[in-house]
Amino acid sequence: MASLQGPRAPLEFGGPLGAAGLLLLLPATMFHLLLVARSGPARLLGPPPYLPGLEVLWSPRALLLLLTWLGLQAALYLLPARKVAEGQELKDKSRLCYPINGFQALVLTALLVGLGMSIGLPLGALPEMLLPLAFAATITTFIFSFLLYMKAQVAPASALAPGGNSGNLIYDFFLGRELNPRICSFDFKYFCELRPGLIGWVFINLALLVQEAEQRGSPSLAMWLVNGFQLLYVGDALWHEEAILTTMDITHDGFGFMLAFGDLAWVPFTYSLQAQFLLYHPQPLGLPMAAVICLINAIGYYIFRGANSQKNTFRKNPSDPSVSGLETIPTATGRQLLVSGWWGMVRHPNYLGDLIMALAWSLPCGVSHLLPYFYVLYFTALLVHREARDERQCLQKYGRAWQEYCRRVPYRILPYIY
């Protein structure tokens, strides 16, 4: 049976009040963005054009489509995988196994959607359904998070996350109580983190591109760039799926409303904001500017992938020739910290690359509106907050060695600035 964590576990996200605020603010922001993106003025900070009633938001067809999508992704998750990876060691010294077949799921989904389109699947009709789909996803994640909360009631104490077990219902519902909720070998958090939302984002983008082609004869260059960049990002995440097993989402955070809503609603419906904006507000983009934006995305991707791969290779095999020459700091845990290469430049080079890419995704939308830059603003806040959380956890894990790392590499994300 689940027991509550010790009284000293620090509360995050502003405690119960912050969690309650975010429970309302996150869905409200998502609907605001969806409504504003299709409005004429498209003002991020202005009021929404109208407040949709239940007859606009609720659609059994949208719910059915969402459930079919989740079912399809779950079926693809259960297909034989090219590899089964082991996760980090758990409190009880065991390790869970995870199928590595996310990229396969993306390719098979693309084939199925392609096949569907060839026999008349109206993908271009999807943009009109985004509001009811987002509403269905919101209701589904509230119900899902409640079920996850209830499941944690009967989980053994060793299965609980370090946070999310404060005893406060709202806080624990938001953060998530159980670390790796599973039914048999089906891992809900791992499944949600990379599959339905991330792959859904790509296909929502594609639907917006198809709709633009139907409306204007062909997709705009700006729409191609946004689709291409974000497909690269999602394809990369699924190709390197195993890397997710060492992220704080999998190793530290419980699975509750924050991640369930983030994965299943926030990612597909707000990360596709640039493509939504472009459908309703076409932007001229010349080839020279497009080339500059491609270069910015390439630089961002180079840093992001270089940093992530360097750390992942080092963590898997420190004597790999590509990392064995790097300078390191030993820690009391037996693990080492890289202090040269990408990780000697700033303490989170992968975040820097990710932020540069975020900028490249918004630039095709021009500079006439702030709305398409919402992702850059939100993502900066998310990564600054995430960096602080990671820093706290690393200080706890590595103590003096972490302090030494901070002394040797003083900047967190942006060299000489932050």
Ligand X SMILES: CC(C)CCC[C@@H](C)[C@H]1CC=C2C3=C(CC[C@@]21C)[C@@]1(C)CC[C@H](O)C[C@@H]1CC3
Contacts with ligand NDP by CB under 6 A lie at 246-248, 304, 308, 311, 315, 335, 337-338, 343, 348, 350-351, 354, 386, 390, 393-394, 405
Q: Which is nearer to ligand NDP, 12 or 390 (CB)?
A: 390
Q: How far apart, in whole angstroms, are the C-alpha atoms of residue 142 and residue 23?
A: 9
User: Which does residue 394 bind out of ligand X, ligand NDP, none, counting CB within 5 to 8 angstroms by kind?
Assistant: ligand NDP
Of the residues 5, 12, 19, 26, which one makes contact with ligand X according to CB under 6 A: 26
Is 209 among the residues that bind ligand X (CB under 6 A)?
A: no
Residue with smallest beta-carbon separation from ligand X: 262
Rank residues 63 and 394 by Cβ distance to ligand NDP and give the closer one: 394
- For the CA atoms of 389, 390, 395, 401, what is the dihedral angle to 10 degrees? -160
Instruction: Give yes or no for a contact between 306 and 343, defined as CB atoms under 8 angstroms apart.
Output: no
**Nearest to residue 167, comparing CAs of 58, 348, 300, 5?**
5
237 counts as binding ligand X under rule CB under 6 A: yes
Q: Any contact of residue 12 with ligand X (CB under 6 A)?
A: no
- H-assigned helices in 15-168: 15-37, 54-57, 60-77, 102-118, 130-153
Instruction: Indicate the helix (H) or strand (E) that contains 298.
Output: helix 287-316
Residue 301 identity: Y
Strands 97-99, 84-86: parallel, antiparallel or unpaired by DSSP? antiparallel
Q: How far is the CB of 286 from ligand X (least distance, A)?
A: 30
Residue 26 binding result from ligand NDP, ligand X, none, given CB thresholds of 5 to 8 Å by partner type? ligand X
**Among ligand NDP, ligand X, none, what binds residue 172 when CB lies within 5 to 8 Å by partner kind?**
none
> Contact between 241 and ligand X (CB under 6 A)?
no
The interface region with ligand X, picked from 66-74, 190-198, 209-217, 391-399 by CB under 6 A, is 190-198
Q: Which is nearer to ligand NDP, 32 or 348 (CB)?
A: 348
- Judged by phi (left if over 0) then psi (alpha if -120 to 50, else beta), residue 327 lies in beta
Give SS3 for 99.
Answer: strand
Q: How many CA atoms lie within 13 A of 64 on its CB side?
A: 3
Picked from ligand X, ligand NDP, none, the partner binding residue 343 (CB below 5 to 8 A depending on kind) is: ligand NDP
Q: Which is nearer to ligand X, 197 or 219 (CB)?
A: 197
Site for ligand X in 256-295 (CB under 6 A): 258, 262-263, 266-267
On whether the CB atoms of residues 42 and 281 are closer than 8 A, the answer is: yes
Residue 284: CB minimum distance to ligand NDP, A: 28
What six digits make up the tokens of 334? 């037996």
Distance CA 230, CA 281 (A): 19
Interface size with ligand X, residues (CB under 6 A): 13
Least spacing, CB of residue 198 vs ligand X, in Å = 6
The pair of three-digit structure tokens given for residue 108, joined into one six-digit string: 């098979």
What's the farthest any 2 CA atoms get from each other in the chain? 62
Q: Which does 136 bind (CB under 5 to 8 A by kind): ligand X, ligand NDP, none?
A: none
5, 159 contact by CB (below 8 A): no
Which spans of this chain sit near ligand X (rule: CB under 6 A)?
26, 193-194, 198, 237, 244, 247, 249, 258, 262-263, 266-267
